[in-house]
């Protein structure tokens, strides 16, 4: 007779440890696959998990096996036309085990690759591994909603609804033992003595003395209260200010005639990576899109990436607008501000001075980090030289990089947000 056991409620994820060990062991390969995926994938897809493909030879577990060659005999089913003594031409490419083995898969993935899924959070984990947001410390403490209540032990004072019963009773019991222990012991002795005397018929004096002591002891014990004021213990809660979980990201892009759709696509990838990265670190993110040619305007995402404009380039217009918006809507006390600017580097020569001023006065003092990428394979343009000076002065919050094409976005992004060791 069999026992039938329902194991469906047993813990799941029994293989979790093994899975993690596997991921750890092939950490490098997985990271490569992730960074491949970034340059291959559509941006809006970036938030999914992914199939990770590792060449099978990298993860094979070797055993002693026969190689090709020698003489081997094999039996197959399904003979239709062969008779004994037939000779069959060797199939091309195989001196191996005859037909049937090594057929290519039609699943789109070569049989030589080992494919498996990682989840979205694992994907982002690998994507942003070793990266850190600079200047995270400057999260401001503001407003009543950004407090959290934490338990903080026990207190002698408090309101009745906060009474901790266990602690209170424990303390009362300890007090009672401390105050009445001696008297209680004596009372036990006296009672025992009285019992003994009942049997032995003692003198009245002894008995009287004992009875007197007994009533004195009883009185003493009765005066010890069951619960006293200072037994009361209260749960203590403290309110801890919470760092602001809000961040705003400014995307600034040149849309003048010289910016081709390709360059914009590259910029978009960069912005998107930054957005995902911020999302990992902050609960709430707002994005402000500012585009500019000779004038700057705040637009929605669609217009930002896809509408076409022509004209010259005045970068300072965008920077001034960004500074204005910060002042108007995103108080640096409340918001963590990140700026990302993408451009092909063109600027009207006379404008550089104004850019410098706008950055130094209105932007850099207020932001956590400001990045600039220059896209294209031309020599560095005017803006680059200007920013190079600034990078030296504001190295903690200002960084610039050059990007040639899509495939460089991810490495450049890593470069910008590389975890820097704090040197004391």
Question: What minimum distance in Å lies between the beta carbon of 75 and other proteins?
Answer: 4
Is residue 1 within the footprint of other proteins (CB under 8 A)? yes
H or E segment to which residue 392 belongs: helix 382-393
Q: Establish if 108 lies at the interface with other proteins (CB under 8 A).
A: no
251's tokens: 């995307």
Which one of residues 28, 42, 44, 66 is an interface residue with other proteins (CB under 8 A)? Answer: 66
What is the rounded distance in angstroms from the CA atom of residue 14 to the CA atom of residue 206? 77
DSSP bridge partners of 289 = 251, 299
Ordered alpha helix ranges (H), 201-260: 204-223
Nearer to other proteins, 118 or 255 (CB): 118
Measure the CA–CA gap between 418 and 29, rounded to whole angstroms. 20
β-pairing, 296-299 with 284-292? antiparallel
Q: How far is the CB of 123 from other proteins (least distance, A)?
A: 14
Q: According to CB under 8 A, which one of 14, 223, 283, 421 is a site residue for other proteins?
A: 14
Under rule CB under 8 A, residue 23 binds other proteins: yes
Q: Is 422 in the site for other proteins (CB under 8 A)?
A: no
Q: Among the candidate windows 40-48, 96-104, 325-333, 408-416, which touches other proteins by CB under 8 A?
A: 96-104
Q: Is 83 near other proteins (CB under 8 A)? A: yes
**Binders of other proteins in range 256-315 (CB under 8 A):** none
Least separation, in Å, of the C-beta of 10 and other proteins?
7
Could you identify the residue written with the tokens 């990838």? 269
Helix (H) or strand (E) holding 337: strand 336-343
Q: Which helix (H) or strand (E) holds 37?
A: helix 27-40
* Choice from 40, 48, 72, 329 touching other proteins (CB under 8 A): 72
CA distance 303 to 290: 10
Q: Which of 316, 370, 314 is nearest to 339 (CA)?
A: 370
Residue from 40, 74, 219, 261 in contact with other proteins (CB under 8 A): 74
Strand partners, 240: 148
Please select the residue that binds other proteins; options are 42, 44, 85, 421, rule is CB under 8 A: 85
Q: Does the protein bind other proteins through residue 100 (CB under 8 A)? A: yes
Footprint (CB under 8 A) of other proteins, residues 24-43:
24-25
Sheet of 336-343: strand order equals 296-299, 284-292, 246-254, 336-343, 369-375, 398-403
> Rule CB under 8 A: is residue 17 a binding residue for other proteins?
yes
Per rule CB under 8 A, is residue 104 in the interface with other proteins?
no
Q: Which is nearer to other proteins, 62 or 153 (CB)?
A: 62
CA triple 25-30-34, angle to 5 deg: 160
CB of 53 to other proteins, least distance (A): 11
Distance CA 254, CA 292 (A): 5
Question: Cβ closer to other proteins: 4 or 423?
Answer: 4
Smallest distance from other proteins to CB 47, Å: 19
Look at the alpha carbons of 272, 276, 281, 285 in this order and tell me if their dihedral is positive or negative.
positive
CA distance linking residue 293 with residue 259, whole number of Å:
10
Out of 28, 42, 87, 145, the only residue in the binding site for other proteins (CB under 8 A) is 87
Question: Residues interacting with other proteins, by CB under 8 A?
Answer: 1-8, 10, 12-15, 17-25, 51, 59-80, 82-90, 95-100, 103, 107, 114-117
């Amino acid at each position: 007779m069999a026992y039938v056991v329902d194991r469906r409620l047993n813990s799941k994820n029994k293989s979790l440890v093994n899975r993690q060990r596997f991921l750890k062991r092939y950490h490098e390969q997985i990271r490569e696959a992730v960074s491949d995926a970034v340059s291959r994938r559509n941006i809006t897809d970036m938030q999914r998990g992914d199939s990770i493909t590792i060449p099978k030879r990298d993860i094979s577990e070797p055993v002693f096996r026969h190689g090709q060659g020698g003489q081997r005999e094999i039996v197959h089913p399904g003979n239709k036309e062969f008779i004994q003594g037939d000779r069959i031409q060797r199939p091309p490419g195989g001196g191996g085990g005859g037909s049937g083995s090594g057929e290519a898969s039609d699943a789109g993935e070569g049989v030589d690759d080992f494919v498996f899924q990682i989840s979205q959070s694992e994907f982002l984990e690998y994507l942003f591994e070793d990266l850190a947001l600079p200047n995270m410390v400057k999260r401001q403490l503001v407003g009543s909603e950004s407090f959290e209540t934490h338990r903080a032990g026990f207190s002698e004072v408090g309101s009745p609804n906060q009474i901790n019963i266990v602690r209170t009773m424990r303390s009362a019991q300890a007090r009672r033992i401390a105050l009445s222990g001696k008297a209680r012991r004596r009372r036990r002795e006296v009672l025992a003595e009285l019992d003994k005397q009942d049997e032995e018929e003692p003198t009245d004096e002894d008995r009287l003395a004992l009875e007197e002591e007994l009533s004195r002891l009883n009185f003493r014990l009765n005066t010890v209260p069951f619960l006293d004021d200072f037994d009361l213990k209260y749960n203590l809660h403290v309110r801890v200010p919470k760092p602001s979980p809000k961040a705003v990201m400014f995307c600034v892009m040149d849309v003048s005639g010289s910016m081709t759709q390709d360059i914009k696509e590259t910029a978009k990838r960069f912005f998107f990576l930054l957005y995902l990265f911020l999302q990992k670190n902050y609960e709430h993110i707002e994005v402000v899109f500012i585009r500019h040619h000779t004038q700057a305007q705040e637009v929605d995402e669609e217009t930002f990436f896809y509408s076409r404009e022509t004209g010259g380039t005045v970068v300072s217009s965008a920077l001034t607008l960004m500074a204005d918006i910060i002042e108007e809507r995103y108080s640096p006390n409340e918001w963590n501000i990140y700026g990302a600017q993408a451009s092909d580097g063109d600027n009207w020569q006379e404008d550089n001075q104004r850019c410098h001023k706008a950055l130094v006065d209105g932007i850099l003092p207020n932001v956590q980090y400001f990045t600039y990428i220059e896209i294209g394979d031309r020599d560095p343009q005017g803006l680059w030289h200007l920013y190079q000076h600034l990078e030296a002065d504001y190295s903690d919050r200002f960084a610039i990089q050059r990007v040639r094409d899509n495939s460089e976005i991810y490495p450049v992004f890593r470069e910008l947000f590389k975890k820097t060791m704090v040197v004391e």
